[in-house]
Amino acid sequence: MPFPVLAQVGVNTTSPQNELHVNGSLQVVNEINVGGDAQTAGDSGTAGFALVSNGSGQPPKWKDITETSDAVGTMIVANGQFVVAQEITVQLSADYAGTAATGSTLPSAIGNLSNEILDNENKYTGDASSNSFQVANDGVYEVYLNMQLLTTANTYPTIGIWNNSTNNWVVNVNDLFVANGAQTYTLITTVTLSSSSTYSFRSINTANYTIKHLSAGTTGSGPVSQVTVRRLK
């Protein structure tokens, strides 16, 4: 007949810290069941699953560590965990016409930047006259901006990311406009962004300018002005 003994058992130790304390290696030649109680066996898991802790006082559980999030995007490792990197990719839905800036005029939030290709954290908003976004986590983010502009020769159009919270550029690119037609401005870099700030894609020039929605020419026409912000770590 069963004869229960309420005691701690130690193997290779005279001061066991739990009901069973093995001070050394442990060989298991069959399944390991976790959970359950005095009358029922625990869960032996599924082939390929890993044993994951549920914290102090709770039984661990078997988990498929290859399972991924429902979010669309790139998988990265951040703080020791697999996460889907936040990504915002947006194109112009129509040409954007910017007016000449004078004096201390602030850069304008680019309008019509509303054709969302990807916004997997729902942190971006854009309409005909403005745009803004936030990041879900503090971190390092890759930035890619490509804009095709039409404006007056010998001016210096500027495009980039603006911190709405501190009213200053995070990063930007400008160059002398010399083209007879459209000229492309491209920015590829990495920056540190904060979840406590709000940002926007902005532009400025001393002459009126147009950011083109579609390219044109003998090679055909297609979306040409696009921005991407993607978390790296």
User: What is the Cβ-side half-sphere exposure of residue 229, based on CA atoms within 13 angstroms?
Assistant: 30
Spatial contact of 98 and 111, defined as CB atoms under 8 Å apart: no
Which residues, 6+ apart, have CB-to-CB distance to 95 below 8 Å? 112, 210, 211, 212, 213
- pLDDT over 70 (residue 156): yes
- pLDDT over 60 (residue 222): yes
According to the model, what pLDDT value does residue 92 have? 98
Name the pairing type of β-strands 50-52 and 199-204. unpaired
Confidence band (pLDDT; 50, 70, 90) for 96? very high
Structural domains of the chain ordered from first start = 7-67 (no CATH), 83-231 (2.60.120.40)
pTM of the model: 0.73
41 vs 118, which has greater pLDDT?
118
> Which residue in 110, 139, 141, 142 sits closest to 126, CA to CA?
110
Minimum mean pLDDT among 28-32, 65-69, 72-76: which range?
65-69
Confidence band (pLDDT; 50, 70, 90) for 79? confident
Q: What angle do CA 77, 195, 203 make, to 5 degrees?
A: 110
At 53-63, the pLDDT tens digits run: 888 888 888 87
CA distance 101 to 206: 5
What's the sign of the alpha-carbon dihedral 169, 171, 177, 179? Answer: negative
What's the sign of the alpha-carbon dihedral 88, 91, 97, 101? Answer: positive
CA distance 162 to 201: 6
According to the model, what pLDDT value does residue 130 have? 97
Q: Which residue has the tokens 């490792």?
A: 77
| Count of Cβ atoms closer than 10 Å to residue 52 Cβ | 11
According to the model, what pLDDT value does residue 4 have? 61
Mean residue pLDDT of the chain comes to 90
- pLDDT over 80 (residue 9): yes
Which residues, 6+ apart, have CB-to-CB distance to 3 below 8 Å? none
